[in-house]
Structure 1
């Protein structure tokens, strides 16, 4: 009986130690590159008694830590966002328009920094207050609150699920609430941990004839 009790206590301690914050720390520490499909649901706050507007998009996501990532939106509209380490590029295919911003000035307190850009958790703590959130929907959650009060973000929640074929946890969900009440939920599928990615994945050259804007 004593042995069973000790085993129970050890098992409980192991389960209890698996928190969202520890999952985030492990993810940032061990996952240096990643690739996944994603769907994004953006819900605008209801106005004047009208139902909230909901928009859904899909695409692919790749990153190489630190400071390199690519979001390729394929449906319903084509759009590409690339961070090459120096510049953050946003290309709208329908408008044939490219916006280029200095990466260091815009990425620090963004959701991309949480999952792809930061080299370690200490770098994240410079821009976010990180706290554990209760487990929900089979996921371990951590809440990130920007320290800057003049930004557009209110909170970001990151959900992890225990990996079936590898130690640690896998990124599953990113929930973003901005200061305008708009909620964006990205769900990642077929997440690949530490794949070999070509450097060309994080380079971008404005297409010929595209308008290039540098705010």
Structure 2
């Protein structure tokens, strides 16, 4: 896999798995620590559907990329992240296999799911709430009805410096990631629908992928 493709997979995995932490948003009670509040948000959850817009900024503040699309997440490990044209990309996982499809390149990269997210915050946001305080310092700030949770790893990962999750009236609205090179990725969520009940047929349709005829298939084991 090329370095660029690997970076794309990693960034998409960041975005979607961080959004997974926002599947439900129970009320925040006064007096609870920031970590306790966030632990409540990281309890085992079911599904999330949302539209998103994503902007990436360089370390000196210049916007270098923007995209939009829609996402679906279902536990455990199922995800669908579709970036709309002109930068169309599909990231799909059924919980065991991850597909990254680039229509412009007519290429599909197939990776084992765990390999794709092992070096991201995914393990925490995939259900590792009990390890929150072991791995992160957590602080919270409020502005009106919005609460922003800032997570900083206690041990440097070499991948990211900090993550911010923003909720408005207990609804997830924004995810901000600052990586090790000080690039800033801002993801705005809209029209969020939490815990939709999906039939087995809907789950299969959303979270499986059959490569179109004629595309190059790259198997990355």
TM-score (norm 2): 0.73
- Computing the radius of gyration over CA atoms, which structure comes out larger, 1 or 2? 1
Which of the residues 150, 158, 169 maps onto 2:165?
158
**Cα distance in 1 between the residues matched to 2:158 and 2:97:** 20
Per the TM alignment, residue 114 of structure 1 is displaced from its structure 2 partner at its CA by 5.4
Gaps of 5+ in 1: 1-12, 163-168
Change (3 A) 1:159 1:214: same
CA displacement 1:52-71 (0-9 Å, x = unmatched): 23322111011012211111
Who is 2:25 aligned against? none
- Report if aligned partners of 1:130, 1:142 keep a CA contact under 8 Å in 2: no
Matched, 1:210 2:215: yes
Kept in 1: contact 2:137–2:154 (CA 8 A): no
* Partner Cα distance (1:105, 1:137) in 2: 40
TM-score, length-scaled by structure 1:
0.75
Give the ranges of 4+ consecutive aligned residues of structure 1 lying more than 6 Å apart after TM superposition: none
Distance 1:28 1:14, change over 3 A: closer
Identify the match of residue 80 of structure 2 among 70, 87, 97: 70
Distance across 1 between alignment mates of 2:157 and 2:130: 22
Distance across 1 between alignment mates of 2:99 and 2:132: 22
Question: Aligned residue pairs: how many?
Answer: 189
Give 1:34's match in structure 2, choosing from 29, 48, 52: 48
> RMSD value over aligned CA atoms?
2.7
Give the equivalent residue in structure 2 for 1:119: 127
1:184 and 1:137 map into 2 onto residues whose CA distance is 24
Q: Which runs of 5+ in 2 are unaligned?
A: 1-27
